[in-house]
């Protein structure tokens, strides 16, 4: 039995992803090539976590919001300088912010698992006399 493609032009769903035409045009016309960070792009989740710990956070209101509406987060310039991600230091792309958050959570999870394992080793190595 022949498998019918779920998307026209795809036969098994394993074709490499193509750039969305609108994004390609936007990128091509803007000639944006990415921002640079002094330390380059992070090389792993632990590096992301270390940089995330130094990222300044601010509270602000947009001009179009009522002054009672407050927002919390990094400034785009600080984010670009810290991570070297995105095409501009004037805005933070949601995909980059999400990626940084996910990498940070993964690094924290691995550290937590290591601390729990070490704690368990310490508990097992204690003699019953030490417990009293």
Q: Is the dihedral of CA 50, 38, 101, 19 positive or negative?
A: negative
- With a cut of 80, say whether residue 23 has pLDDT above it: no
Non-local CB neighbours of 5 within 8 Å, separated by 6+ positions: 11
Q: Are 67 and 61 in contact (CB under 8 A)?
A: yes
Domain for residue 58, yes or no?
A: yes
**Tokens 């493609």 map to which residue?**
5
Region 91-103: what's the mean pLDDT? 96
Domain for residue 24, yes or no?
A: no
Q: What does the pLDDT read at residue 12?
A: 55
pLDDT (tens digit, 9 = 90+) per residue, 50-64?
999 999 999 999 999
Cα–Cα distance for residue pair 126/132, rounded to 1 Å: 11
Domain for residue 17, yes or no?
A: no
pLDDT (tens digit, 9 = 90+) per residue, 61-96?
999 999 999 999 999 999 999 999 999 999 999 999
Domain total of the chain? 1
Q: Which tokens go with 66? A: 């009522």
Q: How confident is the model at residue 40 (pLDDT cuts 50, 70, 90)?
A: confident
Q: What does the pLDDT read at residue 22?
A: 63
Domain for residue 27, yes or no?
A: no
Q: How confident is the model at residue 37 (pLDDT cuts 50, 70, 90)?
A: confident
Q: What does the pLDDT read at residue 9?
A: 53
Domain span including residue 78: 34-131
Domain for residue 29, yes or no?
A: no
Q: Are 73 and 94 in contact (CB under 8 A)?
A: no
Domain for residue 16, yes or no?
A: no
Domain for residue 103, yes or no?
A: yes
Phi and psi (nearest 5°) for 16?
-60, 145
Domain for residue 52, yes or no?
A: yes
């Amino acid at each position: 039995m022949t498998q019918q493609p779920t998307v026209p032009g795809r036969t098994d769903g394993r074709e490499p992803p193509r750039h969305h035409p609108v994004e390609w045009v936007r990128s091509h016309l803007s000639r944006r090539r990415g921002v640079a960070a002094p330390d380059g792009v992070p090389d792993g989740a632990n590096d992301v976590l270390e940089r995330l710990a130094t990222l300044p956070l601010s509270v602000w209101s947009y001009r179009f919001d009522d002054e009672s509406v407050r927002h919390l987060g990094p400034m785009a310039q600080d984010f670009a300088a810290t991570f070297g991600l995105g095409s501009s230091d004037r805005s933070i792309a949601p995909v980059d912010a999400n990626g940084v958050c996910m990498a940070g959570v993964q690094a924290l999870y691995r550290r937590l698992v290591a601390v729990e394992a070490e704690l368990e080793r310490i508990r097992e190595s204690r003699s019953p006399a030490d417990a009293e």
